[in-house]
Chain A
Amino acid sequence: SQQGEEDPQALSIQEGENATMNCSYKTSINNLQWYRQNSGRGLVHLILIRSNEREKHSGRLRVTLDTSKKSSSLLITASRAADTASYFCATVGAGGTSYGKLTFGQGTILTVHP
């Protein structure tokens, strides 16, 4: 079963606006990762946040992690048309039978209009 749940499923914005995507999960995690995928192609890693971290930045990306709520958010600031893609969160299980297992959310389809 899918551990990661993402919302919204689809997001449509204008260039220059910010885009926020949310991810929730159910079990203990080692880390949480965000990926981007352009239409049917391979996934590209964006940012990784470890379970003992609360916030991370990379360029126009900001990720937060709230382990008490088992949730994370990805913020893309000043979006560009080239940011149009699907975005996925993935959690790495921390222990037991989930140790090392990656579970992906179903993704958010982001469309940025020029």
Chain B
Amino acid sequence: EAQVTQNPRYLITVTGKKLTVTCSQNMNHEYMSWYRQDPGLGLRQIYYSMNVEVTDKGDVPEGYKVSRKEKRNFPLILESPSPNQTSLYFCASSLFGGTSGTFYEQYFGPGTRLTVT
């Protein structure tokens, strides 16, 4: 089954304790991205990647790191989480026609609900 998986689905942690949320897709998509969703603010893009070893900042990258060492995986790293990073996080992937500059629809994972106390 074609899908985007995220782990963990729920996480409660404390301020300053490094954590990683994994994201994996099995659709051979070039483009992967992380979003956070907060009430009243909609979804905001944190980081995106248009191919292996290529990452770009979205609208809210502060406090987050990403890496794209393999095509299928795009982990989100919080080196020192703070309470303002409490949110619902979504990973997504899509095809990307690099040479033509064609972008396609996103396939979303089920979300990770993170609470930082």
Contacts and interface: CB of A to CB of B under 8 A. Distances in A.
Interface of A: 1-2, 4, 30-31, 33, 35, 40-45, 48, 88, 90, 92, 100-107
Interface in B93-117: 96, 101-111
4 tightest Cβ-Cβ pairs between the two chains A and B? A106-B42, A45-B105, A42-B108, A104-B43
A19 B109 CA distance: 27
Contacts of A30: 101-103
Given A100-B31, A106-B41, 17 more contacts: A2-B41, A30-B101, A41-B111, A42-B109, A42-B110, A43-B106, A45-B105, A48-B104, A48-B105, A100-B56, A100-B96, A101-B45, A101-B58, A103-B45, A104-B43, A104-B44, A106-B40
B88 interface: yes
B105 A33 contact: yes
Nearest to A6: B42
Contacts, number: 68
Interface size class of B (residues with CB under 8 A): 20 to 34
A52 B64 CA distance: 35
A103 B106 contact: no
Interface of B: 31, 33, 35, 40-45, 48, 50, 56, 58-59, 88, 90, 92, 96, 101-111
A33 B45 CA distance: 15
Given A100-B31, A101-B45, A102-B45, A92 B103 contact: yes
B42 A107 contact: yes
Given A40-B88, A43-B106, A103 B59 contact: yes
9 contacts: A2-B42, A30-B102, A41-B111, A43-B92, A88-B43, A100-B50, A100-B103, A106-B41, A107-B42
Nearest to A46: B105
B42 A102 contact: no
Contacts of B107: 45
A43 B101 CA distance: 24
B51 to A, nearest CB: 10
Contacts of A100: 31, 48, 50, 56, 96, 103
